């Protein structure tokens, strides 16, 4: 154990260690902010040296856990961040390094039968759902089971009022999140009925929130800003080579990030310069030309950035244990990270995830007067009508729909 470690020095070392271990830009910012809170707390208490007891005192006074919250995962995001930061501080204080832990899919509050049921439910919905949908539906089912467990209600005892109470707990969430939770619950309740876990089909006992299809205008980037983001990537490091290749696949080919993460080496046909894969969302074959700049970005990563391994996926983690990128991991931070480095302003009303880059490609294709069916084919839409949403950002074509006020008033 490190003796006499000053809190100020530990905070500085903490930031350096996060950088060394290639934590994401978003995580580094969040953890460093919490580290500054710890330093401020120490100044208020007149404490100069760190200790495990001091770390616990910080949590107890600034982020107390009440008896009403039985599970760590049910704490607010800020509370979870504080607890995790202190654990990392303790690692640094005791071992001199931050010990990265691989966080498995949390099963807190579930017994063996619950976990088995969720596994069987996941297998059942895999038949006609994408991988991302299976993960979301399973996660929502887990939330519902944990809710029942806190009320000491078994699955065969579920009543309509229990469903109402659960949905009311999500009532303060966004309308889209509430609609998604209701949809997940309907599927799970129907599964319970079909397998005999409940004698009634409770999925028919409540109505879901209706969300209009494509109610919002898609977020698109200025083409110059996209170029700035790509140029901001440090292509001299393995992480930069990986991130650049990922960004190029989304920016130039419009691949969904779920398909980028699942992309396998065998799905790149170098002889014919094509990428051919089965899309995770639509289950349909997608065949796209491997554009030269995209191909060279992938080659540079494969030759000089990708660790040697038998993992079939193209893109891997950069820190041990080396493995494929989890399908549940969000990669929105990549865009935000390089946008900040490039000095590109992020509007609060605009989404900054990978999907926004996909929207931007569709917008550019529209500006180039590319027919909608071709855009739909490039983006791998299940239905050609899904591309209609991008008409909302085709400014030039929308101008053609504008009415002349003088003509309107003439015939009024």
What's the average model confidence in pLDDT over 219-231?
85
- Decide if 366 contacts 393 (C-beta within 8 A): yes
Min mean pLDDT across 22-31, 132-141, 166-175, 260-269 is at 166-175
Mean pLDDT of the chain: 79
390 tagged catalytic: yes
124 tagged catalytic: no
* pTM listed for this prediction: 0.56
- Decide if 279 contacts 382 (C-beta within 8 A): no
Question: What pLDDT is recorded for position 369?
Answer: 63
CATH code 1.10.150.130 for 112-204: yes
How confident is the model over 127-180, as pLDDT tens digits? 777 777 888 898 889 989 988 887 889 999 999 888 888 887 665 456 677 788
Which residue is catalytic, options 136, 228, 355, 364? 355
Phi-psi region at 283: left, alpha or beta (left = phi > 0; alpha = psi -120 to 50): left
Options 1.10.10.60, 1.20.58.1030, 1.10.443.10, 3.10.105.10; CATH of 223-398 = 1.10.443.10
355 tagged catalytic: yes
What's the average model confidence in pLDDT over 278-299?
88
Residues ≥6 apart with Cβ < 8 Å to 360: 220, 221, 223, 226, 251
- Decide if 125 contacts 187 (C-beta within 8 A): yes
Min mean pLDDT across 126-140, 295-309, 385-399 is at 385-399
pLDDT band at 392 (very low <50, low <70, confident <90, very high): very low
Distances (CA, A) of 168 to 137, 181, 328: 19, 11, 26
Residues ≥6 apart with Cβ < 8 Å to 367: 394, 396
Which residue is catalytic, options 256, 261, 306, 337? 256
Residue 236 to residue 215: CA distance in whole angstroms: 41
Residues ≥6 apart with Cβ < 8 Å to 306: 238, 242, 314, 315, 316
Which residue is catalytic, options 87, 281, 351, 364? 281
Question: What pLDDT is recorded for position 253?
Answer: 87
256 tagged catalytic: yes
100 tagged catalytic: no
Structure tokens at 48: 């100069």
């Amino acid at each position: 154990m490190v003796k006499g470690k000053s809190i100020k020095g530990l905070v500085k070392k903490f930031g350096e260690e996060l950088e060394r271990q290639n934590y994401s830009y978003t995580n580094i910012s969040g953890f460093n902010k919490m580290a500054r809170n710890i330093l401020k707390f120490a100044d208020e208490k007149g404490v100069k040296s760190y200790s495990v007891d001091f770390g616990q005192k910080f949590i107890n006074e600034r982020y107390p856990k009440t008896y009403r919250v039985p599970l760590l995962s049910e704490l607010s995001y800020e509370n979870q961040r504080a607890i995790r930061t202190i654990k990392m501080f303790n690692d640094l204080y005791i071992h001199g390094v931050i010990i990265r832990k691989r966080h498995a899919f949390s099963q807190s509050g579930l017994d063996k039968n619950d976990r088995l049921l969720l596994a069987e439910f996941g297998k059942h919905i895999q038949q006609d759902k994408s991988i991302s949908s299976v993960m979301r539906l399973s996660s929502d089912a887990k939330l519902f089971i944990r809710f029942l467990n806190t009320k000491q209600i078994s699955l065969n005892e579920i009543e309509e009022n229990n469903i109402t109470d659960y949905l009311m707990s999500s009532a303060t969430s966004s309308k889209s999140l509430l609609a998604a939770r209701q949809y997940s619950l309907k599927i799970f309740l129907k599964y319970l009925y079909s397998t005999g876990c409940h004698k009634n089909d409770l999925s028919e006992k409540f109505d879901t929130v209706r969300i209009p299809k494509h109610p919002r205008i898609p977020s698109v980037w200025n083409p110059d800003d996209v170029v700035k983001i790509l140029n901001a990537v440090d292509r001299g490091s393995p992480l930069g080579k990986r991130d650049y290749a990922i960004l190029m696949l989304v920016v130039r080919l419009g691949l969904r990030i779920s398909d980028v993460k699942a992309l396998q080496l065998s799905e790149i046909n170098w002889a014919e310069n094509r990428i051919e894969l089965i899309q995770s969302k639509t289950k349909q074959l997608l065949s796209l030309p491997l554009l030269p700049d995209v191909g060279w970005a992938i080659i540079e990563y494969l030759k000089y950035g990708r660790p040697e391994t038998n993992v079939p996926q193209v893109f891997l983690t950069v820190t041990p244990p080396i493995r494929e990128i989890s399908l549940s991991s969000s990669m929105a931070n990549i865009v935000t990270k390089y946008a900040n480095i490039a000095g590109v302003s992020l509007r609060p009303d605009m989404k900054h995830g990978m999907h926004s880059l996909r929207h931007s490609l569709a917008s550019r294709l529209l500006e180039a007067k590319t027919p909608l069916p071709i855009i739909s084919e490039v983006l791998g839409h299940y239905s050609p009508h899904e591309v209609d949403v991008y008409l909302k950002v085709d400014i030039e074509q929308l101008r053609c729909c504008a009415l002349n006020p003088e003509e309107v008033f003439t015939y009024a």
